[in-house]
Amino acid sequence: MCLNMDMSGICISTGSACSSTSLEASHVLLALGLDPVNAHGSLPFTLGKWTTEEEIDKVLETLPHIVAKLRAMSPLYKN
């Protein structure tokens, strides 16, 4: 996911900066009731003061295509 988003010009990460050295699932997502597998599979988005509507639109346009591509490649995903 990260590589595909990066290739589309969108910078993301798989976790917060404050937990960048940990391989544990997000304690926030676990506290919300997500199981560890889904918590590890999460993709957090951060909006800042300078995030533009165009940047959000680009993510909303790009993300579904990447998800579809990765699902089509995955032997684990079932429709």
Which residues carry out catalysis? Answer: 18
Whole-angstrom distance, CA of residue 26 vs CA of residue 3: 21
Alpha helical stretches, state H, 1-79: 2-7, 27-31, 36-40, 53-73
For the chain, the residue count is 79
